Structure formats: C-alpha cells, structure tokens
C-alpha cells in the first residue's frame, strides 16, 4: 500500500462516518532506521489523512477512538447498537528495507540453521517493525521471509512472510465480534479497494488500550 492509498482509506473511513471528523486523531511517525521514539502529534481528524502523505521513508500510525452509540457507523454492527469503544489505527511503512508486523512474534526460527531466538524488532504502537537487513544470531544469514518461521504469543507458528505487511488496519473492540469478517459491505469494499485481497486476523491476547 502506498501513502496516497493509505490516505484515501483513512479519508474514506471519515466520509463513511466510521471515524469522527469533528474530533482529533493521533499521528505517530517513526523515522527509519529508528533512532529514537516516534514523533507524536494530535491533529484534527479531517487533516490526519493528508498528514499521512508526509510520511515518506517512515513508519506512520494514525488512530482515533470512537463510540458507536455516539452516532458513529459501526462496521461490526449487525443487530442494534453495540455499546463500547472502537479503536481504529492505520499503520503504514514506507520503506523497502522495513516491514510491518501487525502481530509481533515472540520468537523467530532461522530457516537456514534452525536456531530459534527472540526477534530483534522495533516496537511501534501495538505492532512492530522488522528490519530486513537483520541477520540470524546463530549463522549470520539474513532474514528470509519465505523460509524463516515466527511464533506468536498464542503458540501459533507462521512463515514470517505471512505476518509481514506494508500496511494494516487495527480495530480494537472491548469484546470479540461474532464474526471476524466485516458485516458492513461498504466498509469491506473500502478495505478491498485499499488492500486488494486481505486477511482479517484476531489477536485475542491483545491488551486493551
């Protein structure tokens, strides 16, 4: 996903009434390679989409917490209002050297030598950023997305490439939805336009914000 595509997605969520254009959003931007803490800004939600365009060469995250009972459109609503917050965060990494890990693993296993070790990642919000130039501490081989394996806190194991992305939309709810797939067709279509084919993954062990 490019920065203009990310900006159009966030603008689309505002236009559909999922996000609140009259309230503020939070923007965090991390310079890559990381040399410190992310730069944090509070700004009007209407300006936050355009602010994403200024994130060339960085990892950026824009977020807003809304409440469906305050006349917000709820993509997970199926029958009547569902009280509770919705915390939306759009992550995008604009760098060929770095990738986003929306669900950070707790262990990586090298596909070359088989050694398992704690991953050397840069935390970014609830996600993490992977440096593709990092090497295995056991054999010195560079990370291979199609061969290295990653273990999540749940114990599930994936190929590293299955957990990596250039962008991701995180939706935090106070309780798990009845179905991982969005019942709101308009919001689902907006996500397909932005991401193409995409996976919806639940992180049941995520700590509430």
Each residue's pLDDT tens digit, 125-178: 999 999 999 999 999 999 999 999 999 999 999 999 999 999 999 989 887 777
Give the residue with greater pLDDT, 80 vs 61.
Answer: 61
| pTM higher than 0.85 | yes
- CA 87/CA 10 separation, integer angstroms: 13
- Residue 110 scores a pLDDT above 80: yes
Q: Is pLDDT of 200 > 70? A: no
The pLDDT value given to residue 179: 67
Residue-range domain boundaries for the chain = 3-94+166-195, 99-163
Local confidence band at 207 (pLDDT 50, 70, 90 cut-offs): very low
Number of CB atoms found within 10 A of residue 46's CB = 16
Report the pLDDT value the prediction gives residue 181, as an integer from 0 to 100: 72
Count CA atoms within 13 Å of residue 42 on its CB side: 3
Neighbours of 80 (CB within 10 A): 5
For residue 206, give the DSSP letter.
P
């Amino acid at each position: 996903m490019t920065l203009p595509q990310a900006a159009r997605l966030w603008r689309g969520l505002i236009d559909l009434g999922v996000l609140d254009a009259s309230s503020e959003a939070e923007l965090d931007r991390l310079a890559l390679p990381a040399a410190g803490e992310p730069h944090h800004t509070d700004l009007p939600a209407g300006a936050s989409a355009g602010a994403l365009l200024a994130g060339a060469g960085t990892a950026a995250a824009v977020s807003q917490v809304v409440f469906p009972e305050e006349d917000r459109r709820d993509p997970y609503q199926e029958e009547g209002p569902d009280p509770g917050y919705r915390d939306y965060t759009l992550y995008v990494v604009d760098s060929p050297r770095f990738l986003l890990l929306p669900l950070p693993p707790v262990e990586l296993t090298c596909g070359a030598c088989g050694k398992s070790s704690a991953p050397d990642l840069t935390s970014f919000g609830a996600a993490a950023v992977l440096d593709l130039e990092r090497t295995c501490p056991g054999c010195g081989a560079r990370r291979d997305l199609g061969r290295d394996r990653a273990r999540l806190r749940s114990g599930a194991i994936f190929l590293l490439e299955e957990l990596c992305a250039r962008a991701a939309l995180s939706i935090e709810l106070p309780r798990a939805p009845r179905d991982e797939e969005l019942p709101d067709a308009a919001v689902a279509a907006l996500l397909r336009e932005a991401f193409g084919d995409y996976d919806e993954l639940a992180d049941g062990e995520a700590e509430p914000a």
